[in-house]
Amino acid sequence: MVRSKKKFDIIIEGGTLLTMVEGEEPTHNARVIISGDRIEAVSDRQNTPLPETGELINAEGAIILPGLINSHGHSPMTLFRGMADDLPLKSWLFEHIFPAEAKHINPDTVYWASLLACLEMIASGTTTSVDGYFLADAIVKAADKAGMRALVAQGVIDFPAPGVPDPKKNVDVALAFMERWIDLSDLITPGLFCHSPLTCAEKTLQQAHEISTRFDSPLQIHLSETREELTEIRKRTGLRPVFYLDDLGLLHSNVIAAHAIHLNEEEIDLLAERHVKIAHCPESNMKLGCGVAAIGRMLEKGVTVGLGTDGCASNNNLDLFAEMDTAAKLAKVANLDPTLLDARTVLKMATIGGARVIGLEDNIGTIQAGKKADIIIVDANTPHMTPMYNPYSQLVYSATGGDVRDVIINGKIVYRERRFTTLDSEEIMNEVKSLSREIGR
């Protein structure tokens, strides 16, 4: 084959390409050319000469798609994966998770547990994560080392928290965090994460909001996750949570609300009107017995929805393929309507939907010339992926994260033939295993 003289870095050839661009159908035998951190061209393999340079990735028998975007998570909680399951919500939080956090969360544990989360996310095709936790500097360092794209948010709560023993200092700590990382890199955006309308006072919410706006960074918040939150906020304020946040000026297009379960029709309308972004976390919502978010209604009303795994203590993995499958099936059974949240819609939520959630839709979420090269390749040459009539169905209903073969983030191959190129997986797993032996005592 004659190779063209133009020089590129990575050439992906063959397989089934899903660009996830609106209106574009799957194409077979495509070629995706990457130059530096960007997609240079998406072309037909037959009609264009193979460039002279560039690492060739053969994707025959595989599916090429945009990297998945995890719209809501708490990376360090991999440390507590499976530590306390199947418990009443209050006992889970107050007798297990909060005490474990108080005792074991420090910059070192956050760093290693976040690296473990990066391993898991990369290996299951997630190229961008939206993270919120305390001691978030260590999450930034982990994501930076891994080469992941991430919105990493420092938690804000009006209780003593890891790294912020005095809640009066929570906003100062958050501001310092923003200042420290705002210019770090193209890949990592610092942000703030208000724990919930229940655990942050009005003033705290407004101050966090003010800082987020100043840095033009998305503000994350848990919203209407539990019935208790709804009841308590109404008792305190006379308002349902969405209207309460609106009164505080907190509903706008740079706010990411996670969970959004206990909403009435007016609240959904208001979220739509204010262009608030929703991070849907079906597996966590199911496992904690919180309820079913009305995602079908939200999409009908034009709300932007992304998909999130939530933290590992309430899932217990970071596999967005499992999350897509569950999102589709949960909507269908909750509404007794098998047509709701079809496979393509759900895959959009996990790609371009997630990109819109964090305001990066011009740079990621689809495979198009000019966009950042965040691309994954999923092996389809396995029994459970055979035969293949519809690649969207296959990815959502048949695949798991374990089918991901190669991962490219920002033009860099971070996972190749199921091997990590930026991280030492044995070292990281051993460190976390060692930490877990202390915790398990």
Instruction: Please report whether residue 29 would count as binding a copy of itself according to CB under 8 A.
Output: no
Site residue total, a copy of itself (CB under 8 A): 74
Cα–Cα nearest to 239, from 270, 209, 216, 285: 270
Cα of 67 vs its chain's centroid, Å: 11
Shortest Cβ 325–a copy of itself spacing (Å): 7
Is 226 within 8 Å of 290 (Cβ atoms)?
yes
Instruction: Please report whether residue 283 would count as binding a copy of itself according to CB under 8 A.
Output: yes
- The residue range among 35-43, 182-190, 407-415, 432-440 that interacts with a copy of itself, by the rule CB under 8 A, is 432-440
From the list 333, 370, 419, 424, which residue makes contact with a copy of itself (rule: CB under 8 A)? 333
Nearest residue (CB) to a copy of itself, 158 versus 431: 431
The H-or-E segment that residue 256 falls in is strand 255-259
Instruction: Please report whether residue 343 would count as binding a copy of itself according to CB under 8 A.
Output: yes
Report the site for a copy of itself in 164-183 (rule: CB under 8 A): none
Is 257 within 8 Å of 277 (Cβ atoms)?
yes
Shortest Cβ 400–a copy of itself spacing (Å): 4
From the list 337, 362, 424, 427, which residue makes contact with a copy of itself (rule: CB under 8 A)? 337
What the block records as the tokens of 360 is: 């990066």
> Hey, is 336 helix, strand or coil?
coil
- The residue range among 87-95, 128-136, 150-158, 296-304 that interacts with a copy of itself, by the rule CB under 8 A, is 87-95
Give the dihedral of Cα atoms 199, 203, 206, 209; nearest 10 deg. -60
Nearest residue (CB) to a copy of itself, 112 versus 134: 112
- The residue range among 161-169, 191-199, 298-306, 386-394 that interacts with a copy of itself, by the rule CB under 8 A, is 386-394
From the list 340, 355, 376, 413, which residue makes contact with a copy of itself (rule: CB under 8 A)? 340
| Pairwise CA distance, residues 337 & 373, whole Å | 37
- The residue range among 33-41, 46-54, 172-180, 422-430 that interacts with a copy of itself, by the rule CB under 8 A, is 422-430
Shortest Cβ 299–a copy of itself spacing (Å): 14
Instruction: Please report whether residue 291 would count as binding a copy of itself according to CB under 8 A.
Output: yes
From the list 289, 370, 421, 427, which residue makes contact with a copy of itself (rule: CB under 8 A)? 289
Pairing outcome for strands 412-416 and 404-409: antiparallel
Binding track, positions 393-412, relative to a copy of itself; x by CB under 8 A:
xx--xx-xxxx---------
| Pairwise CA distance, residues 31 & 48, whole Å | 9
Nearest residue (CB) to a copy of itself, 119 versus 173: 119
Report the site for a copy of itself in 242-261 (rule: CB under 8 A): none
* DSSP codes joined into one string, 139-200: HHHHHHHHT-EEEEEEEE-SS-BTTBSSGGGHHHHHHHHHHHHTTS-SSEEEEEEE--TTTS
Nearest residue (CB) to a copy of itself, 145 versus 275: 145
Instruction: Please report whether residue 16 would count as binding a copy of itself according to CB under 8 A.
Output: no
Is 327 within 8 Å of 307 (Cβ atoms)?
yes
> Hey, is 332 helix, strand or coil?
helix
* DSSP codes joined into one string, 383-418: GGG-S-S-HHHIIIII--GGGEEEEEETTEEEEETT
